[in-house]
Amino acid sequence: MEPEKKNIGDFEFSDMIISKNSYLNNGEIKSFFKGVPGNDQKIVPIPEEYNNDVKNLINIIEQTFLTKGNFRSDEGIRNFPMAMSIKYEGISYRIADMNDVQNQTWFLRRMPSKMSTLQQIGFPQNYIDWILAPEQKSGLILITGAQASGKTTLASTLLTERLKLYGGHAITFEFPAEMPLQGEHGDSGFCYQTEINGEIALAAHIERAYRFANPNIIYIGEIRTKHAATEVLRMALSSSQQIVIATLHGQNIVSALERLVNWANEMDGVNGYKNLADTLLAVFHTKLELTDNSKILHIPELLLAPSGKEERISISSNIGDGKISQLQGIINSQQNRIKMADDNVVEFK
């Protein structure tokens, strides 16, 4: 009886680092796992029993980059996208490539095979109650944080939870697509997941979706340039029955919002402040705590802007006047109030 084939997906890890020339003449492995339980952030050599998987992945990655290349035509820049997604043995990976001094190397982030709930990823119940309440039906929801802090996981899970609860349809614009969002969610919700060829093309994609598809939720995978920042704010202004969800890098909420507005102002002048003031519904800042066996999601900061409340007026006024740094006092006050709330009830002035 032949031994059972070992698939690389059977091993528990969060990332892989694979070099094109993965094997030296003596067979030494030059590719690694990362995020292996019990090893913190140490890299771990990929065991020899997964050699065939590594070789198969190299072939798939090279073919995928060739097929999806030529996205960028800037003179002197390689014509390949910044990141891509592939599926191997039923598991999806986000891939970025880089040339080091010896090899072409690929960095693979393992993506989940199915969506979890907000409770399962550790999002606090009182936050869930607020953001999924019927009155939170329009505006911009931003998920901020550092690299690999759980932003995409929270944003994607929030999208699917709203579809399960309220139905309707969502359209995503991602580069590349990461989480398994495509398809039905609940009894009457559906997500159409799309990959776009860079943020410059975002405006045309969003306008077409808004004018002809009328989605209940629009999800922007990540705001990285002035083009995405401008379109996110413009879209959030366009409807009283539509949620816009996006992720944004930042070490805290204030710095992330300042970056967003600075980008938007490059395209829209000082209108970036007013557009953000008129559209912001909530900001959740994420942080992941890594343990030997799991990742724990924390929300060290949040900013909630409930419609028709005094606090909303103060938030909008500070943003509209360009005084984003003044929001820190409201952020601190809300965080303390939620922590002290009895029976998961959050009161706003």
How many angstroms separate the CA atoms of 151 and 223, rounded? 12
How many angstroms separate the CA atoms of 280 and 317, rounded? 12
Token representation of residue 294: 């799991």
Pick from 156-170, 194-208, 261-275, 311-325: least confident: 194-208
How many angstroms separate the CA atoms of 234 and 232, rounded? 6
Q: Which helix (H) or strand (E) holds 222?
A: strand 217-223
Q: Which CATH number fits domain 125-344: 3.90.950.20, 3.20.20.10, 3.40.50.300, 3.10.440.10?
A: 3.40.50.300
Model's pTM, two decimal places?
Answer: 0.81
Mean pLDDT: which of 154-163, 212-221, 230-239, 283-292 is highest? Answer: 154-163
Which pLDDT tens digit goes with each residue over 52-87? 898 899 889 888 877 765 444 444 444 455 678 888
Q: Which residue in 341, 332, 320, 274 sits closest to 129, CA to CA?
A: 341
* Residues 223, 295, 41: CA angle, nearest 5 degrees: 90
pLDDT confidence bin for 314, thresholds 50/70/90: very high
Which pLDDT tens digit goes with each residue over 89-116? 888 888 888 877 777 889 998 888 889 9
Task: Round the average pLDDT of the chain to a whole number and report it.
Answer: 83
How many angstroms separate the CA atoms of 116 and 114, rounded? 7
More confident residue, 328 or 67: 328
In this prediction, residue 2 carries a pLDDT of 45
In this prediction, residue 20 carries a pLDDT of 79
The answer to whether residue 342 scores a pLDDT higher than 60 is no
**CA distance readout (Å), 40 to 14, 48, 145, 302:** 11, 22, 20, 28
- DSSP conformation letters of 256-293: HHHHHHHHHHHHHTTHHHHHHHHHEEEEEEEEEEE-SS
How many angstroms separate the CA atoms of 122 and 90, rounded? 26
In this prediction, residue 199 carries a pLDDT of 61
In this prediction, residue 296 carries a pLDDT of 83
- CATH class of residue range 8-110: alpha beta
Please, where in the chain does CATH 3.30.450 lie? 8-110
Which pLDDT tens digit goes with each residue over 120-179? 999 999 999 999 999 998 999 999 999 888 999 999 999 999 999 999 999 998 877 888
More confident residue, 154 or 23: 154
More confident residue, 71 or 38: 38
Please tell me what DSSP assigns to residue 324: G
Q: Which residue has 């090279």 as its token pair?
A: 62
CB 32 within 8 A of CB 43: yes
In this prediction, residue 239 carries a pLDDT of 75
- The count of other CB atoms within 10 Å of the CB of residue 184 is 11
* Alpha-helix runs per DSSP H in the chain: 51-67, 125-131, 151-166, 202-212, 226-236, 253-268, 271-279, 310-320, 327-340
Please, where in the chain does CATH 3.40.50.300 lie? 125-344
Q: Which residue in 289, 172, 265 sits closest to 222, CA to CA?
A: 172
- The count of other CB atoms within 10 Å of the CB of residue 74 is 7
- DSSP conformation letters of 36-66: -TTSTT--EEPPGGGHHHHHHHHHHHHHHHH
In this prediction, residue 279 carries a pLDDT of 94
Token representation of residue 103: 């090899």
Q: Does residue 300 sit in helix, strand or coil?
A: strand
The percentage of residues in the chain with a pLDDT greater than 90, rounded to a whole number, is 43
In sequence order, the 6+-apart residues with CB closer than 8 A to the CB of 50 are 6, 8, 11
Q: Which residue in 137, 161, 142 sits closest to 152, CA to CA?
A: 142
What value does the mean pLDDT take over residues 296-317?
89
